[in-house]
Structure 1
Amino acid sequence: MAHTSKFYGKFFLSAFNKEVDLDSDTLKVMLCTSSYTPNQDTHQFKSDVTNEITGTGYTAGGAALTSVTVAYNGSTNTITLDAADVTWSTATFTARHAVIYDSTPGSDATRPLIAFVTFDADISATAAPFQAIWDAAGIATTTVS
């Protein structure tokens, strides 16, 4: 399946304003239903996200990302965010979006959004593992120009 991943535009404002530290803060991925419509231009904080999923094996707020890396490729002028794949081991739920955010700040109104992945269709699991397997090229990439 070809999924679409993008950085939230206001993530860069949050980074430039020192509201997020990709090296030391706790980043999480939360899952949302198809009723959430990511807005790349206006959504900036976790409080802007609606319709987080509920279901067996899923904890509100999502799962922590591990092995987070941010890399710059000078030959392509791209910055890439990546992390280890995430697995919810015994899941019964349906998701359409994965939202990456910084969970370190104290409230949802100050937790910066970073990126989102929109799946081609709703993906369901019934008493089975649900995996967010990031693209081999990374979760999200942007070109610096």
Structure 2
Amino acid sequence: MAWTVSGWYSDTLKLALALDIALDLERDDHKLALYSNSLTPDFSATAPAYSTTAEVSGTGYTAGGAVITGTTLASTGGYTTWDGDNVEWASSTLSGVRGANAYADALGTNNLILGVDFGSAYETADGSLIVAWAGTGIGRIHVVP
């Protein structure tokens, strides 16, 4: 299988809403790790956690990914939106980068928060790979019918 869709990891949200984990989306210590197309995200998995399986490697990239900074959490018009600064790997040489997982690095369990399907594989050759978030943020949830 492979990346086919982006989404929230439902068990992590359930654990946060039940106050079983202290997931604070406004913290600036969550990370974004890059993966090849050999990863098939399971958004309904129980206790999904960061893993190096299918994580890309290359010059300018460190296993575990990069920190997502400037994070905010807002609620407006029935949507709860998580946003942050774009994430960049400068002077990198990477290939086969198909998706990314955002995870709570500060939690001892490294819970996966959200997976992002890039739609196709990307590569860099001593260049920059930038994950630029949509105008609607890293992810949002519609909470009002």
Query: TM-score, normalised to structure 1's length?
Result: 0.86
1:118 alignment partner in structure 2: 117
SS of equivalent residue, structure 1 residue 13: helix
Structure 1: gaps of 5 or more residues: none
Output one character per residue of 1:109-134: Cα deviation in whole Å (capped at 9) or x when no partner: x1111101101110111110110001
1:85 alignment partner in structure 2: 86
SS of equivalent residue, structure 1 residue 15: helix
SS of equivalent residue, structure 2 residue 15: helix
Identity of aligned residues (%): 31
2:72 alignment partner in structure 1: 69
SS of equivalent residue, structure 2 residue 16: helix
Aligned CA RMSD, in angstroms, stands at 1.9
Deviation at 1:47, TM superposition (A): 4.4
After superposing on structure 2, the runs of 4+ consecutive aligned residues of structure 1 that deviate more than 6 Å are none
Structure 2: gaps of 5 or more residues: none
Deviation at 1:49, TM superposition (A): 6.4
SS of equivalent residue, structure 2 residue 33: strand
Contact 1:43 1:113 in 2 (8 A): no
- Residue 98 of structure 2 is aligned with which of 96, 99, 119? 96
1:134 corresponds to 2:136: no
Aligned amino acid, residue 37 of structure 1: T
Higher helix share: 1
Query: TM-score, normalised to structure 2's length?
Result: 0.86
After the TM superposition, which of the residue ranges 120-129 and 48-57 deviates more from structure 2?
48-57
